[in-house]
Structure 1
Amino acid sequence: MKKESFNKDWLFVSKKSEIKKRVTLPHDAMQGEERRADCESGSAGAYYPGGVYEYEKHFTAPEQWAQQHIVFEFEGVYKNARVYINGKEAGGAAYGYIPFFVCADGLLGYGEDNVIKVTADNSRLPDSRWYTGAGIYRPIWLHTGGKTYIEPEGIRIKTLDYRPARIQAEVLASGGEAEIEILDQGKVIAAASGKRAEMTLPDAVLWSEDTPYLYTCRVTLKENGKTVDTAETAFGVRKIEWGSRGLFINGKETLLRGGCLHHDNGILGAAAYKESEWRRVRLLKEAGYNAIRSSHNPASRAMLEACDALGVYMLDETWDMWYSKKSRYDYAEDFEANYKYDLRAMVERDYNHPCVIMYSIGNEVSEPAFEKGRKLAGEMVDYVHTLDDSRPVTGGINLMIIAKSSKGKGIYKEDGSGADTAGNEKKMQGMSSTMFNMITSMVGSSMNKAANSKTADAVTSPVLDTLDIAGYNYASGRYPLEGAAHPERVIFGSETFPQDIYKNWEMVRKYPYLIGDFMWTAWDYLGEAGIGAWAYTPDGKGFNKPYPWLLADVGTFDILGNPNGELFWAQAVWGCLKNPAIAVQPVNHDRKPAKGAWRGTNAIPCWSFQGCEGRKAVVEVYTQGAAAELFLNGKSLGKKKTKECRAVFQTKYAPGRLEAAAYDRDGKETGRSVLQSADGRIGISLMAEKNPVKAGELVYVDVALTDQNGNLEGNADCRLKAEVRGAELMAFGSANPRTEERFDSGSYSTYYGKALLAVRAAEKGSIYVKVSGEAGTAEITIKAE
């Protein structure tokens, strides 16, 4: 079937205003809402209200479509999507994170104008523990073909072996006879006939993080000798094996340097633009990550394609809840009616993506404390195996939650589960997920040992042993115990505190059955406002931070994609740093910060805080070396032994040259790095991350306050205004976690000297970007081809 974009020229309306607006998909309707302190979404949803949203598009259906098969593919609509074609309901999906297909056969007026309408409803809040976005936030595709056709996602490639490379190709079609070809850069290297065939690929390049090599499978469908349909899919030759000896990709032991990742794209909200998803994956890979956990919902197709091409392993996750609620109006109310549909939709989409190495059936659910939940877990694992027996099934299991739930001490006050002394489920007195996180923020890393008891082991083992590979959320205290207690169990840290990276990674390297670590989190996100913040404002204490807190303020990258000390620390531990990295805890504050549990440092790579001379400065140096020395303007501030790949220095801030040297155990210098203060007049600098770009493509423009030599100034933040010609200004913002400013206003204040623009090229020609404010004016031209 022919596949084409169906994303342009939609009319969008929020039922609150009835003002129609023309949009190009993907589109996050929630970004058009006014945040309010009294919004029902609360800190979890970043104080954004929801609503009921409608999208409408007029299109002509050619006469020949009357003899064809027409399908609309929706990659994701949040949530409770309903699709109408010419006034008749044609399909939809309750879950906001899974793809679904709508058949238009018999519903169209051929040779005339047609109307497709999509409604999305997230008006009842709270419905999540993070910012969800709303509306058609992922792309739509139109599939057209004859009555004999290859189904969308109808080619399935499975690696049977890798020495030599053998694959199985399966074709799902409405009829006809299939011819299968395997192409390597356009050259046919293997072929077979039939809808199911095994083939050997000569001298195949195996897919892995080091060699993300992709082949193409082309299927030609024939009827009475005539070609009636063709389809292609990319795939990689990649086989997964696992056991108490570890995780093996094509026979090579693999340790997962992972990070958890929410689905939003920062200043663009939840909209899943291809360029944004590829950008995140690229930056994570360049930083040393080799794995992503999609938290806590299936990743976008664009992100999977980026992981395939760039060589990043994906742990694709389904839900944050099962049938017990964590938020008052979350998906638990629809779960039992839809969970098999959701699993099938995810697996069928993911099947050919070599990056997907595990499916996760959930995150931090309490249901496995009880018989119904344990039985459900087993049924879901078995069901996924029937859909795809080539990948392991896992889950992000918080052992403390299950242990406490089994005693009738509920974690989520919205859920209806609990247990009496006979182990029967019942209503129980619980706490909200926010309250649970508040307690966690106070307990901090001590939670890692909360489930070390034999009683907790007995309660959690049934679900952990149901999984092929067991994911442990905040339970690193169990890592050393499991080899003896459960010699057949394979485990990994599915969610961990970033400040524990050194201890966790030492155990990953030591215990064969411990295959990786996924820190919370790799990239900052909207919602769960302030969980990782080192806050300097009076309202920054505790977990449940009030309006106008916006961001989680957690992660090794901020929402703009700027790295910080958390990343440098992980890179040092992983052995990814050639030279020492320097980061400084912000000097321009008069009080000590209230420290969030999900952050080990708030240091940033900046040594320029004008007006802060003489203030205390905490400087962190990250290296695998045995010692580090710090120099300020050529004067040594001392040499220190590193502890867990970090050395911390204290000095008084003075502008100039801050330099760090690293030394091995023999005292030999192994590398140096420098941070330089800005000097003289501070102005605005702009840099397009890509130039030229294609018409219709999204491009990011980095905005910074710098001196004439490009040195960043971290204490001259000001409000800036962005203007664009020849393109659409999609968003403008900074990484400020506490603000009332809007990403869609065209005006925003820098944060520690940085901001970011996202623009979309309208057509071929020149794009002019102008940014102005107290710091002056800067312009840049980008070519659109």
Structure 2
Amino acid sequence: MVIFTTSCLFYKAILSVKYFTLNKALLFSLLFSVFYSCNLSWSQSADDVRKISFDKNWQFFLGDSLSAVQSENWRILNLPHDWSIEGEFNKDNPAGLGGGYLPGGLGWYKKKFTVEDTSKMTFIQFDGVYMDSEVWVNGNYLGKRPNGYISFEYDLTPYLKIGRENELLVKVDNSKQPNSRWYSGSGIYRHVWLKKLDKLHVSNWGTFITTPNVSQDSAEVVIELRLENEYSRARDAVVNTSILHEGTVIRSSTTSIDINSNEKKILTQQLIIENPALWSVENPNLYVAKTDILLDGEIVDSYSTPFGIRTFKFDLDKGFILNEKQVKIKGVCLHHDLGPLGTAVNTRAIERQLQIMKEMGVNGIRTAHNPPAPELLDLCDQMGFIVMDESYDMWNNSKTEFDYASNWRKWHEKDLKDFILRDRNHPSIFIWSVGNEIQEQWEDEGVRTTKELKSIVSKLDTTRPVTVAMNPPVNMPEADITTQFDAAKVNKNPIAASGELDIIGYNYAHQTYEYHQKNFPKTAFIATETTSGLQTRGYYEFPSDTLKIWPVRWDIPFDGGNPDHTISAFDQVRVPWGSLHETSWKIIKENDFLSGMFIWTGFDYIGEPTPYTWPSRSSYFGIVDLAGFPKDVYYMYQSEWTQKDVLHILPHWNWNPDQTVDVWAYYNHADEVELFVNGKSQGTRKKEGDQLHVMWRIPFQPGILKAVSRKDGEVVLEKLIKTAGKPSTLKLTADREVINADGKDLSFVTVDIVDENGNFVPTANNQLEFSVEGEAKIVGVASGDPTNHESFKGNTHKALNGKCLVILQSNEVPGAIYLTVSGKGLENKNINITSK
């Protein structure tokens, strides 16, 4: 912790004056009033004094017995780590299609460390370990945690050898498979922290900040603190909490407390903030509550909690209201893998995903279907996303043979409590979801469980609604789309009918959305999962306006599609339970009382390659592919969800002579779009009614395809696509050419295959080779091809439809980085990146 030395000395000097008669709490109030009036800055990195990164220099061994731990074949690595992503794709791997045909197994991690300070307590905190982890220190068993997504900690203090070497051993068992419907990864795949605490300290996740009364003029901030005294005697302490905004202390509250030995005590402090800067998706303003505990004038513990000030409600008629303004939730569901990086958490990789979503106009994230990495929530706070934080994909009834259902009865209450305690201060979180497509939703048991889970949440947080993302209420064929569904049909779902949910959340069932007010007149609505459109980036089929439902039914094996497992990138293919992208958005857009939607999914993810099985190994659902390259429908949403000027035309312009080609245009801020081929007009199109794109059906002629959008006769945008020649060379583009030399930062380099004139070649699938020199290493390669079985961790990869991705990770030494990309018949290209 960085703190003004003079102020610390001032504390001690004043408190040491024996004849000083002021109460210590009053004294501290006066002192902090002085600080406030002087407008002094205060460090926001106070938590550094409590915990340090414990990620470096672990030893790892992949083996299935304790005797293997005695082996000398340990590998040195840094955490977070996902060993499955390093494995080979194999259709016989027991994880199956849900796990992307990658291996699981049983792994061991160990780390040696020393502790010198006998006055502190020492804890080890894991942000997430997949799965069935067990931990020992110096041979002493600390415990087991089956849930692969939950955060947890252990007290090491009683077992440590002070001043001597200690050994931590972690067993991670992901050998019982299948245990997930999507790629889970394996290992200590989130960060680990070593915490050193005074015996009098704020508990883990020990603050709860609420803002019960908010206006433009002022906000009441209520801070609930859970304190623990592990001393062998009672202690008198002073607790001071300062509120910081943009690094400056603006308010403080000081309280004197007496706390008995081994007592846990809850302390509440209240402050008023004048003219608060409200948190919103456009302006995600954040505050920090910094709590200091002082004993005899010494700060012995500091705990910082970021928070936001906002008001919100889900209105029966106007949907979602944020800070008294109607906001349509334009959300996506995200699984936790980071594409070619697997599930190993990297803050920059998560940030990139969210930046790509933000550019599309997304303002909401659903953490499908499990507690996310803390870094995701921190970034959502900072970037302005409305989060549906979700805890479970199943309850007591399993979906795969070895999933969490086998641990449900013993662990679900503990896991849910820890989930809420960890996440409840995030201003981005607006909804708790305690289940997804739960099997018990059709039974009375589901109602009982819903009531229990809601009760657990409500004891810890009453500021947010609780929902369950439910399956469609009834089977509804296409012929019934225009039928008004009555409550008797819809309420065949006992959970929905029970009245236990604060907000009704449905996955799909878009046919019922517009009748929600009739069926549930007292409960607001959120579309927890919509769409499930299917596309392969850069692949197109004609005619483009023909609907394809793949598979025909969810319970019938799919034997159709294309031999190469491609799917048209026009918005024309969907699953039977879902809808096309345009279909769902039109319904949500046109009805104020529908608060919003979470599309399945923002990004492709490893596993669940619906409608195909092997050799496909990753999904087709994403609006963005596994490498982070947008599919065409991305621009439909961008034209609807942002204020950017948008004109996007598809497909590419490399076809057979005289082939009939459908050309689509997504656009906004214009009355019309005119299309030209080699300078000759193909006509002007305007969106009519609720249309979200326009189309031309024309014969292909090599040359230049040009679209021009106009408003009141004035040109808004022009877009050109040229017929490309043979692949000749490469174009390399880094998302950032300067990165941090911290051993973690990433540069994502896009490789485009171009012809001799620099035109992008949309049909090129060349094999590419990558090499790097200097202060970085290659940590991931990908093309977005769901059927590619090459390792994401290799130095070669086949491009998909003209594109490939290389991910570079910095070393801890600053310097130059040189990436070279080559391919047979292609001119080699280099890019220089700097690590600082």
* TM norm. shorter chain > 0.5: yes
Identify the residue that residue 198 of structure 1 maps to in structure 2.
270
Q: How far 1:501 sits from its partner (Å)?
A: 4.1
Q: Structure 1 counterpart of 2:687, which letter?
A: T
2:657 equivalent to 1:618: no
* Distance change in 2, residues 1:784/1:381 (3 Å): same
* Distance change in 2, residues 1:770/1:489 (3 Å): same
CA RMSD of aligned residues (A): 2.3
1:648-681 per-position Cα deviation (integer Å, ceiling 9, x unaligned): 23334444332223356x7775543333344576
Identify the residue that residue 630 of structure 2 maps to in structure 1.
563
2:494 equivalent to 1:494: no
Identify the residue that residue 722 of structure 1 maps to in structure 2.
770
* Distance change in 2, residues 1:392/1:201 (3 Å): same
* Distance change in 2, residues 1:612/1:3 (3 Å): farther
What TM-score results when the alignment is normalised by the length of structure 1? 0.86
Q: Is the contact between residue 727 and residue 753 of structure 2 (CA under 8 Å) also seen in structure 1?
A: no
2:52 equivalent to 1:4: yes
* Distance change in 2, residues 1:221/1:502 (3 Å): same
Identify the residue that residue 456 of structure 1 maps to in structure 2.
489
Q: Structure 1 counterpart of 2:98, which letter?
A: A
1:553-606 per-position Cα deviation (integer Å, ceiling 9, x unaligned): 22111112111222112223335451321121xxxxxxxxxxxxxxxxxxxxx4
Query: Which of 448, 459, 476 does residue 375 from structure 1 map onto?
Result: 448
Query: Which of 785, 793, 801 does residue 744 from structure 1 map onto?
Result: 793
Identify the residue that residue 155 of structure 1 maps to in structure 2.
207
Identify the residue that residue 39 of structure 2 maps to in structure 1.
none
Q: Distance in 2 between matches of 1:152 and 1:630?
A: 61
Q: Distance in 1 between matches of 2:238 and 2:756?
A: 67
SS of the equivalent of 1:327 reads: coil
Query: Which of 423, 436, 455 does residue 350 from structure 1 map onto?
Result: 423
2:402 equivalent to 1:314: no
* Distance change in 2, residues 1:73/1:709 (3 Å): farther
* Distance change in 2, residues 1:507/1:714 (3 Å): closer
Q: Map residues 406-421 of structure 1 onto 2, 5 A cutoff.
A: none
* Distance change in 2, residues 1:546/1:450 (3 Å): farther
Q: Structure 2: 5+ residue runs without aligned partners?
A: 1-48, 230-236, 256-266, 534-578
What TM-score results when the alignment is normalised by the length of structure 2? 0.81
Q: Distance in 1 between matches of 2:503 and 2:228?
A: 37
Which is worse superposed, 666-675 or 119-128? 666-675
Q: Structure 1 counterpart of 2:629, which letter?
A: N
Query: Which of 39, 62, 67 does residue 93 from structure 2 map onto?
Result: 39
1:372-413 per-position Cα deviation (integer Å, ceiling 9, x unaligned): 21111011112111111111111211134xx58xxxxxxxxx
Which is worse superposed, 241-250 or 205-214? 241-250
Q: Distance in 1 between matches of 2:314 and 2:624?
A: 31
Q: Is the contact between residue 682 and residue 713 of structure 1 (CA under 8 Å) also seen in structure 2?
A: no
Q: Structure 1: 5+ residue runs without aligned partners?
A: 405-439, 532-542, 585-605
Q: Distance in 2 between matches of 1:758 and 1:728?
A: 8
Q: Distance in 2 between matches of 1:260 and 1:547?
A: 24
Q: Is the contact between residue 441 and residue 470 of structure 2 (CA under 8 Å) also seen in structure 1?
A: no
Q: Structure 1 counterpart of 2:797, which letter?
A: Y
Identify the residue that residue 684 of structure 2 maps to in structure 1.
639
Q: How far 1:54 sits from its partner (Å)?
A: 1.0
1:79-115 per-position Cα deviation (integer Å, ceiling 9, x unaligned): 1111111122213411111111121111111111111
Q: Map residues 179-198 of structure 1 onto 2, 5 A cutoff.
A: 179-194=240-255, 195-198=267-270
Q: Structure 2 counterpart of 1:53, which letter?
A: G
Q: Distance in 2 between matches of 1:282 and 1:446?
A: 40
* Distance change in 2, residues 1:745/1:446 (3 Å): farther
Identify the residue that residue 295 of structure 2 maps to in structure 1.
223
Q: Distance in 2 between matches of 1:572 and 1:647?
A: 13
Q: Is the contact between residue 577 and residue 623 of structure 1 (CA under 8 Å) also seen in structure 2?
A: no
* Distance change in 2, residues 1:377/1:681 (3 Å): closer
Q: How far 1:290 sits from its partner (Å)?
A: 0.4
Q: Structure 1 counterpart of 2:82, which letter?
A: D
Identify the residue that residue 436 of structure 1 maps to in structure 2.
none
Identify the residue that residue 513 of structure 1 maps to in structure 2.
593
Query: Which of 369, 394, 403 does residue 467 from structure 2 map onto?
Result: 394
Q: Distance in 1 between matches of 2:125 and 2:96?
A: 33
Q: Structure 1 counterpart of 2:433, which letter?
A: S
Q: How far 1:449 sits from its partner (Å)?
A: 8.5
Q: Structure 2 counterpart of 1:741, which letter?
A: E
Q: Distance in 2 between matches of 1:177 and 1:475?
A: 55
Q: Structure 2 counterpart of 1:690, which letter?
A: R
Q: Distance in 1 between matches of 2:483 and 2:53?
A: 50
Identify the residue that residue 596 of structure 1 maps to in structure 2.
none
Q: Structure 1 counterpart of 2:805, which letter?
A: L
Identify the residue that residue 758 of structure 1 maps to in structure 2.
807
Q: How far 1:352 sits from its partner (Å)?
A: 1.6
* Distance change in 2, residues 1:331/1:681 (3 Å): closer
Query: Which of 670, 675, 689 does residue 630 from structure 1 map onto?
Result: 675
Query: Which of 100, 107, 114 does residue 159 from structure 2 map onto?
Result: 107
Q: Distance in 1 between matches of 2:342 and 2:481?
A: 32
Q: Distance in 2 between matches of 1:702 and 1:248?
A: 39
Q: Is the contact between residue 505 and residue 573 of structure 1 (CA under 8 Å) also seen in structure 2?
A: no
Identify the residue that residue 770 of structure 1 maps to in structure 2.
820
2:781 equivalent to 1:732: yes
Query: Which of 641, 651, 664 does residue 698 from structure 2 map onto?
Result: 651
Q: Structure 2 counterpart of 1:638, which letter?
A: G
Q: Is the contact between residue 446 and residue 494 of structure 2 (CA under 8 Å) also seen in structure 1?
A: no
SS of the equivalent of 2:392 reads: coil
Q: Structure 1 counterpart of 2:628, which letter?
A: G
Q: Is the contact between residue 35 and residue 47 of structure 1 (CA under 8 Å) also seen in structure 2?
A: yes
Q: Number of aligned residue pairs: give it.
A: 706
Q: How far 1:547 sits from its partner (Å)?
A: 2.3
Q: Is the contact between residue 487 and residue 518 of structure 2 (CA under 8 Å) also seen in structure 1?
A: no
Q: Is the contact between residue 635 and residue 646 of structure 2 (CA under 8 Å) also seen in structure 1?
A: no
